[in-house]
Amino acid sequence: MKTLRIGVFGGTFDPPHVGHLILAAEAQDQLRLDRLLWVLTPDPPHKLDQTISPLTVRLQLLLAAIGENPSFELCRVDMDRPGPHYAVDTVKILQDQYPSAEIYYLIGGDSLHDLPAWYHPQRLIELIDGLGVMRRPGDQVDLRELEQKIPGLTAKICFIEAPLLEISARQIRQRVAEGRAYRYYVHPAVYRLIEELGIYRLPSSSMMRNANP
């Protein structure tokens, strides 16, 4: 029987944008993933000093972004448990849920630089079958140095070739707040929700919260 190959794509997705979708689609194609789980993180440990939108808002946006793709699935593994939410714990839970599957954790090229600072990165690399990394043109990564810090890392890395898109969620939030064009930075359904709900227009207690109250 064919082994199930599962991709895990975690993030705050505030909002999800076309860069996220392209990375996910390319990862699914190039890594031959059978399923791609989008893990929405309620309280990311590395963003405790930042202001992020309520989980309910981000959930609506993410569902709007991935709803048309039957192989994209919302995964509630982090939403249904108390924080802090670390990648290593998320992967362990998913391994228990899918004991016979191969797990591929997806990250951006910038996150690869920061991986040694993650929570128990060595254990994370030991648990996963592959680390899908979106390669950006001009990325300079010293794999030998990373391998010294996290032995076994290079054998797990699967570089994903994808178009270079200089788009970030922070940039989109700023554009919305300033009334600038952003429509084609996000999925049409996400754009409609942002416009209808007035998300990111003006900070208010109803739409924004501090990630470290």
Structure confidence at residue 136 (pLDDT): 67
The structure tokens listed for 75 are 């995964």
Among 124, 45, 132, 126, which Cα is nearest to 91's? Answer: 124
Check whether 207 has a pLDDT greater than 70: no
Place of tokens 């076994």: 152
Mean pLDDT within 49-62: 89
Q: Is there a contact between 117 and 130 (Cβ–Cβ < 8 Å)?
A: no
The full set of domains in the chain, from first to last, is: 5-206 (3.40.50.620)
Structure confidence at residue 202 (pLDDT): 66
Pairing mode of beta strands 51-52, 72-75: unpaired
205 vs 130 pLDDT, higher one = 130
Q: Is there a contact between 133 and 157 (Cβ–Cβ < 8 Å)?
A: yes
Q: Is there a contact between 200 and 194 (Cβ–Cβ < 8 Å)?
A: yes
**What is the tens place of the pLDDT at every residue in 135-171?**
766 666 788 999 999 999 999 999 998 777 778 899 9
Check whether 49 has a pLDDT greater than 80: no
Portion of the chain with pLDDT greater than 90, in percent: 71
pTM attached to this predicted model: 0.87
Most confident of 37-41, 134-138, 207-211: 37-41
